Chain A
Amino acid sequence: QSALTQPASVSGSPGQSITIFCTGTSSDVGTYDYVSWYQHHPGKAPKLIIYEVINRPSGVSNRFSASKSGNTASLTISGLQSEDEADYYCSSFTTINTWVFGGGTKLTVL
């Protein structure tokens, strides 16, 4: 199972919006609405910020939104803040009962 494809890095200024795309295949993203997104500050525990494509867990800021079209999912962060600077990973359940992560995207807040 190959990793989902994400850009290695994105950047934005405080207050701006950025979008991270995550491309999979018909064996994962394209088949299931079980795409999730994680925020990871290095040295800390990863944090679930989106599940089932569009849903935010309790306590996650509504500045985080997500969607999916075909084999590609996306995460949008609006009103960028300095604390958003982190690595972001998408993940999907797959047709062979495994999970696959994206390669990760490093977000830099300029």
Chain B
Amino acid sequence: QVQLVESGGGVVQPGTSLRLSCAASGFTFRENGMHWVRQAPGKGLEWVALISGDGNNKYYAGSVKGRFTISRDDSKNTLYLQMNSPIADDTAVYYCAKDRSLTWSLDAWGQGTLVTVSS
């Protein structure tokens, strides 16, 4: 079965950097687009970024564009989110999710990793 396991969360100081990882299994990773979605404490879900299956197309929410970078390593079946210059509003549980091809929906999610931006 599909399994997505996020890691790399923790406490990070504003203006520094942090890289999140998402290990995928149970499906052909290289054939699927992958998303990052976050949920701030007490708030709803917020879409963050998508990378296409071939890695050539990347899209970002306006709130993170220019600061976060999504990438993938198909040899390791791993998705990444490089978070640069984080701010307090980036504090959230970060989920990775598998794109359900041609339906523009997210059909498998991880359990999430908590990122706290604080000095």
Contact = CB atoms under 8 A, between A and B. Distances in A.
Contact of A51 (B103, B108, B110, B112): B103
Sort chain B's interface into a size bin: 20 to 34
A34 B103 contact: yes
B24 interface: no
Given A45-B111, A52-B105, A101 B59 contact: no
B9 to A, nearest CB: 15
The prevalent SS among residues of B at the interface is strand
B54 interface: no
A99 B117 CA distance: 24
B95 A45 contact: yes
Interface stretch (A13-21, A36-44, A69-77, A78-86): A36-44
Interface string B65-105: 00000000000000000000000000000010100100111
B107 A57 contact: yes
B31 to A, nearest CB: 18
Contacts of A109: none
Interface of B: 4, 35, 37, 44-47, 50, 59-62, 95, 97, 100, 103-112
**Which 5 residue pairs of A and B lie closest in terms of their CB atoms, listed nearest first?**
A34-B104, A51-B105, A36-B105, A104-B44, A99-B47
23 contacts: A3-B46, A32-B104, A34-B103, A34-B105, A36-B103, A36-B104, A36-B105, A40-B45, A45-B4, A45-B110, A45-B112, A46-B109, A48-B106, A48-B107, A52-B103, A91-B106, A98-B59, A99-B47, A100-B47, A101-B46, A101-B47, A103-B44, A104-B45
